[in-house]
Amino acid sequence: MAPPQNGPPDFSNQVQQMIEKINWDQNSPRKIGVPVAALVVLLLIAGIALTGVYTVEPDGQAVVKRFGRVVRISPPGLHFKFPLGIERQYFVPTERVLKEEFGFRTVAAGERTLYEKRPTHRDESLMLTGDLKVIDVEWVVQYRIDDPDQYLHRVRDREKTIRDISEAVMRRIVGNSLGSDVLTEKRVQVAQKARDEIQEILAGFEMGIRIQTLELQDVTPPEPVKPAFNEVNEAEQEREKLINEAEKHRNKVIPRAQGEAQQMIEEAEAYRATRVNRAHGEAGRFAAIYEEYRNVPEITRQRLYLEMIDEVLPGLAHIYVVEEGQSQPLPLLNIGDGQPGLRIQRQGDQ
């Protein structure tokens, strides 16, 4: 029996004490099993130590399974588990931004990134637009893992699923858009719409993935058809230019014609109102004169006569006064030569 120890007993000493308790014959061949048993125990201890401790890297989490069932998710750091395969951990890079590239592949990243484009890559990037144009769409999907449990267990081939869904969604959106829109001003809208739809489909699959960004890297016509494509674009630009010039001329001429028409209508309305008001005034004046004439006809007649003479005489060139008993008119005032005169006879003259 080993002597007692003051401190806490060592595990190896306890094993040795257990071995000494057995009544072994020193001359027996079984004494060979003592070092073998010790070696087995040491290997067992080492196996427990090695398989019971694990470390999770800072850029992810670990999904721990016990006999195939998820029991917990471990954050970054040092952790313990049941050894000897009872519990297993599976690292998931939840803090990394993962990406899938379409139409090209990144060969080397750095200050000057190198890309690779193969014919097989073109098969996933060549698309037909809504106006029957073929364009080459290269894009990148960047995503992060939100739920490690769903990411490991809901879908078997995760990367292929993401690629298939992304390509299907992008082809449908480009197929419903005009080629000129995808090439120019609506690239951002196409990317945003594709991102939202891909996220919605992945959420339905419960993949535990959140799409960070979707960027259209390069949208160009294929190399073999670039000359013809440029000619078509030039023709369309020329057509748009002519249409814009025609619209500009129309917008200039039609408002002017409408303004002139409105002016003529307003002038006619003003003239009508003037004539109607003048007619009403003349009618009222005539009625007032007639009423006065009925009251004092002689005075009214004389006043009307004088008003008419006052209105007519300033426009005459010659004035003649004919006296009673005279056969020739007597010139009174010679204002101009060769102008017609006015013959004025006294009342009662023939």
What is the model's pLDDT at position 23?
45
Give 209's contacts (C-beta < 8 A, 6+ positions apart). Answer: 143, 144, 145, 146, 151, 158, 162, 202
- Count, residues in the chain: 350
What is the model's pLDDT at position 7?
36
Q: What separation, in Å, do the N-terminal and C-terminal C-alpha atoms of the chain show?
A: 182
What is the model's pLDDT at position 323?
67
What is the model's pLDDT at position 25?
46
What is the model's pLDDT at position 21?
52
What is the model's pLDDT at position 34?
63
Superfamily of domain 98-220: Band 7 domain (3.30.479.30)
Torsion from C-alpha of 125, 130, 132, 137, nearest 10 degrees = -20
- Per-block mean pLDDT, blocks of 10 residues, the chain (350 long): 39 51 48 68 77 90 92 92 88 94 82 70 88 90 95 92 95 91 87 95 93 91 81 86 92 91 93 92 85 80 82 71 64 51 44
Q: Checking phi first, is residue 103 left (phi over 0); if not, alpha (psi -120 to 50) or beta? A: left
Distance of CA 134 to the CA centre of its chain: 23
Residue ranges of the chain that CATH labels 3.30.479.30: 98-220
**Which alpha helices (DSSP H) does the chain contain, by range?**
11-21, 33-51, 119-125, 148-153, 158-175, 179-183, 187-205, 226-295, 297-312
Give 324's contacts (C-beta < 8 A, 6+ positions apart). Answer: 346, 349
What is the model's pLDDT at position 8?
38
Whole-number Å distance between alpha carbons of 203 and 196: 11
Residue type, 111: E
DSSP 8-class letter at 4? P
What is the model's pLDDT at position 170?
95
What is the model's pLDDT at position 118?
75
